[in-house]
Amino acid sequence: MIFLIDVGNTNIVFGISDGEKIINTLRTETIKEKDFDYIPVLKDLLCQKEKIRKVKGAILSSVVPEVTKKLIEAVKVIYKVDTILVDDIIDESLQIEIDSPGKLGMDLKVDAVAALKKYPSPQLIFDLGTATTCSVLDEEGRYIGGAIIPGLKISLNALIQATSQLPMIDCSIPIAEYIGKNTQDCMRIGALYGHALMLEGFVREIQKNLPKSYMFH
């Protein structure tokens, strides 16, 4: 089995792969404190699932450098295997044509490579996490740029923190209307539909700025 680790700014997602598909996933909060130890956290998470044996290796993607080394060490302690960084694998397989190719985030590289394996180019890729990112691949599958947008949760939290009377809301509650009748519904509409319409707008405007032959899939 292969241990997969995706380190984001808000959460760390662990996956267990049998080589063909992911058979188990686990999630924990990303803790960035300097002295935080991930070994007991990882042991506790693994105990929550059926016992995982015979881990042959680990692959890690991270956008949080201060956590990367700690997780590599934790995997070494628990499974006695080395961890491969996705950057070491991807850099040779993805052609990046931006101002500073070496500064492109590992998450964006992974998005692009995965999309290229599954869909034809050109492509417009959105990844909704702590930040909402947009990546553009040209007809040859080259990474030619994109956009970084405050994520839905960050935007909503900023709104709540900067106002005196707006409450915390649960965005998982379905809302079918575009016109709210109370504060909570108005906020849900603004957060969810506002974000969705923004993405649609990006698709439309990026399409306008590219050759007519670019039809995104």
Q: Is 107 annotated as a binding residue?
A: yes
In the residue annotation, 107 being an active-site residue is answered as yes
Judge whether 189 is annotated as a binding position.
Answer: no
11 is in an annotated binding site: yes
| Residue 39 counted as an annotated binding residue | no
The string of DSSP letters for 88-151 reads: HHHTTT--B-SS-GGGS-HHHHHHHHHHHHHSPSSEEEEEESSEEEEEEE-TTS-EEEEEEEE-
**Residue 90: left if φ>0, alpha if ψ -120 to 50, beta else—which one?**
alpha
- Does the annotation list 9 as a binding residue? yes
Q: Is 85 annotated as a binding residue?
A: no
The number of CA neighbours under 13 Å toward the Cβ of 112 is 29
**Do the annotations mark residue 19 as ligand-binding?**
no
**Among 17, 5, 26, 10, residue whose Cα is nearest residue 69:** 5
Which residue among the candidates 87, 91, 107, 138 is catalytic per the annotation? 107
Euclidean distance between CA atoms 25 and 12, whole angstroms: 10
Is 31 annotated among the ligand-binding residues? no
Determine if residue 10 is labeled as part of a ligand binding site: yes
The response to whether 2 counts as a known ligand-binding position is no
Q: Check whether 130 is labelled as a binding-site residue.
A: yes
Residues comprising the binding site for ATP? 6-13, 130
Sequence ranges of the binding site for substrate: 105-108, 183
Which residues participate in the annotated binding site for K(+)?
127
Annotated binding site: 6-13, 105-108, 127, 130, 183
The catalytic residues are 107
